[in-house]
Structure 1
Amino acid sequence: MGFKISWLAFDAIEKAAMLDALGFRDTGEADEANESPFSAVQLRNGWSIIWSNDFEWAATQPVKSSFPTKRAISCQLHEGLMYSATHGADDGIELWSVVHDAQQSLHDLSISGNPPPELLPIKDKLFLDQKSEDAGSAEVDFIFDIPIELAASITGFRHDLWEIDGHRPDWTVIERKSA
């Protein structure tokens, strides 16, 4: 079945401030495998992340609105559909997006705005890997990883890695604040 998730990352903001700004509260309960509907972490590199087990969630969040941080990254991925997307915003303005939708084409990659320079080597490598795969069994969709790898190159976080720089992040369950 695979992952059907989304996540938001905010640079240089404490986890508590991020949660407060987005209307969440931290339960303090550990969520090592990100099994709850929402969980959050503060990475050692300064990025704070909210993980959602709802694929659509990140697309509905205020990454483009004013927020108490300069940089924000959103990422969505659905391994069943082979759809992945990442968007980048600075100072509340979306500057770029990179989207792969295998329902359009195995080689589909939509790029808008001015993506960061990290995209080019990631894109070149994974398109080369795809070309080799296409010449053989053509069972792997390497283009799917381009948005995900781009988000990881910026934030240091990738959804399917248990450790980041030799450290296991301390994810905790979060929930919406009561009105």
Structure 2
Amino acid sequence: MGFRICYLASEAPPEELVEKLGLNQGDHIDEMPDGDWWTAKLKSSGWTILWSEDEGFGKSAKEQVSKLSQKHRTYICEVNETCMWSSSELWQYGQQLWRVTHAGDGEDKFDLTEVGELPKAFAELKQRHFQTQKNTDENVDYIFEIPLDLPALEIGFRHEDHLETEDVEAFTIIYPNEPEKRPSLLSRIFGR
């Protein structure tokens, strides 16, 4: 089936990231969760990963990410392997510095949209993946990797990486806030 997720990587501590995004923190667990929302701070790079099972979470949280990025650089990475869509963007100083997206479900297998001033490593990464794509007869989408490889160079994590307990300070389950339930008209009338 493939991944259909969004993850954020931030220099913010896990507790602050969860709070600033308006989420709820749950229990610490021993193993990397599967199918849940979670957060963990990587020991190797110090970046906090916030994993969302909602691929649209990054789009809906841009206002909160903008505020968070005034103090902590933050990446938003989106992955939809069912249609080979990938995207990453870096936020700092309250604004998006750059964004790279790939839509692999169209006719152009070299589709890549670039916005903003990309890091120096981007040019080499793009050239390498484009060359691999040109030189292969396989039905593999190498351009899909570019938006995901770029932040991984700094944070040391990609969506398909399996993290072990010793790779992180702790795995913590997180929960999106449920919409506030308003009492029904009848319960407001009768005071229930």
Provide the TM-score with structure 1 as the length reference.
0.87
Higher strand share: 1
Structure holding more helix per residue: 2
How much identity, in percent, do the aligned residues show?
Answer: 28
The code of the aligned residue for 2:17 comes to: M
- Confirm whether residue 21 of structure 1 aligns to residue 31 of structure 2: no
Q: Secondary structure at the match of 2:141?
A: coil
1:71 positional shift: 1.0
Tell me the CA shift for residue 141 of structure 1.
0.2
Structure 1 contact 70–92 (Cα < 8 Å) conserved: no
Partner of 2:140: 140
Q: 1:18: how far off?
A: 1.1
Distance of 1:101 and 1:53 partners within structure 2 = 20
Alpha-carbon RMSD = 2.1
Q: Which runs of 5+ in 1 are unaligned?
A: none
Residue 72 (structure 1) aligned to one of 71, 74, 78: 74
Residues 91-106 of structure 1: matches in 2 within 5 Å? 91-104=93-106, 105-106=108-109
One-letter code of the match for 1:7?
A: Y
Q: Larger C-alpha radius of gyration, 1 or 2?
A: 2
The answer as to whether partners of 1:10 and 1:69 remain within 8 angstroms in 2 is no
Q: Answer yes or no: is the 8 Å Cα contact 1:87–1:94 preserved in 2.
A: yes
Give the AA of the match of 1:119. Answer: F
Gaps of 5+ in 2: 181-192
CA distance in 2, matches of 1:69, 1:49: 16
Equivalences for residues 153-164 of structure 1 within 5 A: 153-163=153-163
- Contact in 1 for aligned 2:32/2:163 (Cα 8 Å): no
**Alpha carbons of 1:167 and 1:123: their partners in 2 closer, same or farther (altered >3 Å)?**
farther
Q: Distance in 2 between matches of 1:111 and 1:90?
A: 17
Determine the structure 2 residue equivalent to 1:121.
Answer: 124
| 2:4 pairs with 1:4 | yes
TM-score normalised to the size of structure 2? 0.82
How much does 1:129 deviate? Answer: 0.9
Quickly say closer, same or farther: Cα 1:93–1:10, change in 2 above 3 A.
Answer: same
The total of aligned residue pairs comes to 173
User: How far, CA to CA, are the matches of 2:3 and 2:78 in structure 1?
Assistant: 10
**CA–CA distance in structure 2, aligned partners of residues 131 and 33 of structure 1:** 37
